[in-house]
Copies of this chain bind each other. A is one copy, B any other.
Amino acid sequence: MSYFDAASAAPLHPVARQALTASLDEGWADPARLYREGRRARMLLDAAREAAAEAVGCRADEVVFTSSGTRAVHVGVAGALAGRRRVGRHLIVSAVEHSSVLHSAEVFEAEGGSVGRVPVNRAGAVDPSSFAAALRPDTALACLQSANHEVGTVQPVAEVAGVCRAAGVPLLVDAAQTLGWEPVGGDWSLLTASAHKWGGPSGVGLLVVRKGVRFAAQGPVDERESGRAPGFENIPGIVAAVASLRAVRAEAAQEAVRLRELTERIRARVPELVPDVEVVGDAEHRLPGIVTFSCLYVDGEALLHELDRAGFSVSSGSSCTSSTLTPSHVLKAMGVLSEGNVRVSLPPGTAEADVERFLEVLPGAVAGVREKLGAPAAPATGTGPGELLVDSLGKRCPIPVIELAKVIGQVPVDGIVRVLSDDEAARLDIPAWCEMRGQQYIGEEPTEAGTAYLVRRVS
């Protein structure tokens, strides 16, 4: 088995396992108690906090341990917004943040706050000047991930932090995808991370609140974690999280070079090996271990199933692999193809041979799925009427695009195909198909039973 989904959760690092089992005997008692067992637990917790602070590049008393990265984000966003309530009720997020940030923004909106969503370019990156333009006098907080979890694009955090600092607005950086590689640079105000992303145990998140940042923890709190994360501390988990962070950091520089070469190989070779593929995400400013591509005329769920059968665990941002039937908000914000989407995220230590085997297996897996779906082998040609209607109502991704591709050759050049679809993914994938195929996407029109997407044949 080759597990290529480290961006979801990394397998437990051996150092994490060792630290966890070693601290089960000393770390179970209440660190707030003054007796021997409590003092021992407190010592473990204090040492972990010091080590975490060193890895982040902050003070120990700025570190709050939470029960997950998601919880760190929820607590951090709510606390920072409440701390600056008098300044205003405006929040800025990038359009490609992790769902935990976007869910926090939705709750804030429901409570009467306003949210600005900074768009990204086709590579998934924000532009610092767009962030600057989004800042308002009543902006209480801005959020930007250090790198994107779905496509690996690294964000210009230091520049955006500078822009925010100049405006007096705190920046919260979701560093879930990068803290295992390196500290976050720049003058940020809050930072969040999640241990299981770097090989630590699940059940441990990190929230850093810089001194001087106004912060008012929301909901009930107690005396634990500076009154910012209530509930009994999971000390063995915390110890294991921090020990593994130090361990992966020690290997990070070397491993980053190695993984980057492996993902570069996938980036370059997949489009050679598989027809009709779009590799997405920034080619230069990217995480070492993540590469994402989308395959035309492919059902993402079926492809994941084929790859799983072949021994590869990957994930997908295609709509057919989510419970909501909408494509990944990241791919949507980038405006790139979402059908047949595959994210490969290599854990540290991935063997070169496994990547090579993936490249061997992938073309057959894609071809098999395409064959089952009746994907067009070559563009159909012929002469038909100047306008054609394709009724794809009730059909899910990638069928509307397949049906479009099958008929485009039947209208003359400058002829128009109208695709009727009620699948949310079509809104993203039909324009993306046009971009890939050199056809012209005209736009959409509402109809009684769905949406009509208009495409003009150019070539």
Contact = CB atoms under 8 A, between A and B. Distances in A.
Interface of A: 1, 3, 5, 8-12, 17, 20-21, 24-25, 27-30, 33-38, 67-71, 74, 78, 99-100, 103-104, 106-107, 194, 196, 201-205, 218-223, 230-237, 301, 304-305, 307-308, 312-315, 321, 323
Given A220-B104, A314-B35, A70 B231 contact: yes
Given A9-B29, A35-B313, A103-B221, 11 more contacts: A1-B37, A5-B29, A8-B33, A17-B21, A38-B313, A67-B203, A70-B230, A78-B219, A103-B230, A203-B232, A205-B231
B234 A202 contact: yes
Contact of A232 (B30, B68, B78): B68
B231 A99 contact: no
Best-surrounded residue of A78, A103, A201, A323 (most CB of chain B within 10 A): A201
A234 B104 contact: no
B21 A69 contact: no
Contacts of A3: 29, 35, 37
Nearest to A202: B234
Contacts of A308: 34-36
Contact of A12 (B24, B104, B196): B24
Contact of A315 (B33, B67, B205): B33
Contacts of A107: 219-220
Contacts of A33: 5, 8, 313, 315
Contacts of A231: 67-71, 100, 205
A132 to B, nearest CB: 27
Contacts of A30: 5, 8-9
A65 to B, nearest CB: 10
A232 B24 contact: no
B313 A37 contact: yes
A100 B222 contact: yes
Nearest to A78: B219
A194 B232 contact: yes
Nearest to A194: B232
Contacts of A232: 9, 68-70, 194, 196, 202-203
Contacts of A204: 203
Given A3-B37, A33-B5, A304-B35, A106 B220 contact: yes
How often does this chain occur in the complex, in copies?
Answer: 2
| Residue from the set A21, A28, A70, A104 with the largest chain B CB neighbour count within 10 Å | A28
A100 B220 contact: yes
Contacts of A220: 74, 100, 103-104, 106-107
A71 B225 CA distance: 14
A67 B203 CA distance: 7
A185 B84 CA distance: 46
8 contacts: A1-B36, A3-B29, A9-B30, A35-B304, A78-B219, A103-B230, A203-B204, A219-B219
Contact of A222 (B36, B70, B194, B237): B70
A35 to B, nearest CB: 4
Contact of A11 (B28, B74, B103, B313): B28
Contacts of A37: 1, 3, 5, 313
Given A37-B3, A196-B28, A222-B103, A201 B313 contact: no
Contacts of A201: 24, 28, 234, 236-237
| A17, A25, A36, A220 pick with most chain B CB within 10 angstroms | A220
A57 B84 CA distance: 45
A52 to B, nearest CB: 17
A-B interface, 8 closest residue pairs, ranked by CB to CB distance from nearest: A67-B67, A203-B234, A68-B231, A103-B220, A35-B313, A70-B231, A203-B203, A202-B234
Contacts of A307: 35
Contacts of A78: 219
Contacts of A321: 34
A21 B9 CA distance: 18
A34 B8 CA distance: 12
B202 A235 contact: yes
A304 B37 CA distance: 13
Contacts of A99: 222
A32 to B, nearest CB: 9
Nearest to A205: B231
